[in-house]
Structure 1
Amino acid sequence: MSGLTPETTGPDPIRALVVHEALSRAVAGDPHGGGMLLVPMLEEGRRSTWGLCCMLATAAMSLGEQQADGGMWVLEVENSATGESGTPEDMPPEVAFASRFAVAYANGDMDTAYAHFAALSADVDTDAGEIRVIDGVLALFLMATATARALVDEQRNNPTQDKD
């Protein structure tokens, strides 16, 4: 796994605060501003980007569905054109990366998560590779934002929640 594991990349409390702030801004309606907070982590290189992906995957999967029988996390895909069940191959590449990475990471399958990350970042030193990494991380960020927004909505709509 090339030495990149959650243990070798963090958790860094400052980076976790930056990701939290980025998600907070995105949920509050400023996804661009939130996403821009993540740019320095991307610019620091693969190790930092791996750590960022791990944090975003954790946030993205906090509302995921675990299969009762095997305890594995799954992400159901629906083909938006047909309404039928779909596969990651039906998704744009960056969304397929984000979903596959997030599910592998949530399942504790670091070898598979790293394989997806390595494939995404293999040619990061080229313009096309850099764009692919940015798009993949952005897709993870948007998944995490959607999850955070759902959590906020759930809390706001919970009639039993204490109101101060």
Structure 2
Amino acid sequence: MSSLAEALRNRSPLRTEALRPRRIVVLLGLGAVLVWAVWQGAHSHDGLAPVARDLGAETPARVITVDASTGQLDLSGLAVRPGEVIDFVLEGSAGAPHRFVLSGLGGAEIDERLAPDGDTVIRIRAPQQGALSFFCVVPGHEGLHGSLVVDVGGERDGS
């Protein structure tokens, strides 16, 4: 025990001094990362983001079938009414994982599920106004995206 105490008393002050700047740099780096993480998580998207809901009990106004095996989703010119519920059936997607994300106005709702035959069914309730974009975030599915325009006063298209 006395040899340990002796070793501690006789240690070189130069070694201790050399570690201090290094320790300060490490602590400053950790502090910067902590501040960045808090800053990134401190903002809110309340009222802006679409909401995931169980829309299984809803009856869709329209069913739009899309051939998912092509890797493309073309919804150009598609207009929906405010609050309208629409099913998108991705045929040929059996066994392929999908993860769709909505971006757009608050009040939109999405429910994603698998049909008995393995096709992916995405049920969306349109927001009251504006546009709504959605896309699949699975790598390799960059072509599976689209936009819906909510037609507040006009006629919807015949899709």
**TM-score in terms of structure 1 length:** 0.26
Q: Which structure's CA Rg is the greater one?
A: 2
Report which of the two has the higher share of strand: 2
**TM-score in terms of structure 2 length:** 0.27
